Amino acid sequence: MARNRFGWWSRAVVSANNGFMTSSKQWYANPAARSFRTPPAPQEVLAFHQAALGYSPTRLKESRELATDLGVRQVFVKEESVRFGLPAFKMVGVLWSVYRILSARTGEAGENWSFDELADRFGGKLTLYCATDGNHGRAVAHTASLFGLSARVFVPSSISQAAKDGIRGEGAELTEVQAPYDDVVPHADAAAEADPAGQLVQDTAWEGYDQIPTWIVEGYSTIFRELDSQLEDAGVAGPDVVVTPCGVGSLLQATVAHYRGNDRPTDTPQPSLLSVEPLEAGCLVESLNAGGRVSVETGSTHMAGLNCGTVSTIAWPVLRGGVDAAVLVPENADISAVHRLEELGFDSGPCGAASLAGLHVAFDNPELRESMGVSGDSVVVLLSTESREANPLD
């Protein structure tokens, strides 16, 4: 039987009403966030990715038009539209985590295994399981193929046909479940437990399941270490605002771990970190305003990868302490952001474009803008987490 994830925290549920959360407050601000500190990801993660076949840094592109739109000095978009051949950022987390899983399964501590050595040792002997709204599952399936493993991916039946086809195209067995994402996760967990050769690779944590999600979050650190180098090459000391879309909070956890890392020099400027969620799935905003981790009932949204009702257990304390601001965005604002980015030459799906939509929401709120320390001289970085291929609007 699958573990009941919801039994391990307060079952306070905020319901949706015609797509709008019942909470009257659709944003959150934490003026103390820039003093928060947390351990950063290991330094070797970037070197691991750089040595992997097919690695190249994703594009960082400046947009003067967006800077004018937003009334700031510079806007850069970190465009995760092609990452290890897939149309979203997820591969950096999944690849590192599966490498760590297989290395640990050898039982030989201290070895630096190559991809080929691990594939020879485990190929055909292990099946990776996961639940997904699309991008994570495709990354798990693709990574399985790299190591000669099998993959079984569980999805909400409501996700796009393009997402389902992408997962099947990587050679995975796809199982559709008539349920929201949060209720699909226990199905994947149960199937992995029932399979002697099964291994769950999930990007959210709960009580008793946190090591693999931790490795996934560590893998995401490559995005930010690339970003540091790219901004330096552009002559920019660092961002003043970083905007991250939030589902279960794992990528946002990586954002906080990088910019609030306790290894950063004390005189390093601390950027303001903004989280963005769909109005139909505001689990982080609701939890922050409640002062504790709660679950929400999710609605229907084009931002499929963000349609999550519960924050990951390992992400929650980091987000509560280190996120400066969090906002909810409606569908029409997100779709407008997709089209605006497309006009400017960016390949961004609805989850990626949520960063731009959320920044407009935050900047239109005088209290939030002041709390984030935004001025006309600010440098903003938007994380665009997926391409239109990954999650088409049509």
Tell me the pTM.
0.93
Rounded (5°) CA angle 246-143-106 = 110
Judge contact between 174 and 155, C-beta under 8 A: yes
How far apart CA 202 and CA 299 sit, in angstroms, is: 22
Q: What is the model's pLDDT at position 110?
A: 66
- φ, ψ for residue 383 (rounded to 5)? -90, 115
User: How many C-alpha atoms does 49 have within 13 Å on its Cβ side?
Assistant: 29
Could you count the other beta carbons within 10 Å of the beta carbon of residue 264? 14
Q: What is the model's pLDDT at position 111?
A: 73
- Residue ranges of alpha helices (H) inside the chain are 44-51, 64-70, 91-105, 115-122, 135-146, 161-169, 181-194, 211-233, 250-259, 283-290, 316-322, 331-343, 350-363, 366-371
Q: What is the model's pLDDT at position 24?
A: 58
How far apart CA 152 and CA 143 sit, in angstroms, is: 12
* Amino acid in the structure at residue 156: P
Judge contact between 319 and 256, C-beta under 8 A: yes
Query: Furthest-apart CA pair in the chain: how many Å?
Result: 58
Which residue, chain included where needed, has tokens 């209720």? Answer: 183
How far apart CA 246 and CA 262 sit, in angstroms, is: 23
Q: What is the model's pLDDT at position 372?
A: 95
- Residue ranges of alpha helices (H) inside 199-299 are 211-233, 250-259, 283-290
Q: What is the model's pLDDT at position 16?
A: 36
CA-closest candidate to residue 49, choices 83, 78, 80, 81: 83
Instruction: State which residues of the chain have pLDDT below 70.
Output: 1-24, 109-110, 394
Q: What is the model's pLDDT at position 394?
A: 66
How far apart CA 134 and CA 260 sit, in angstroms, is: 29
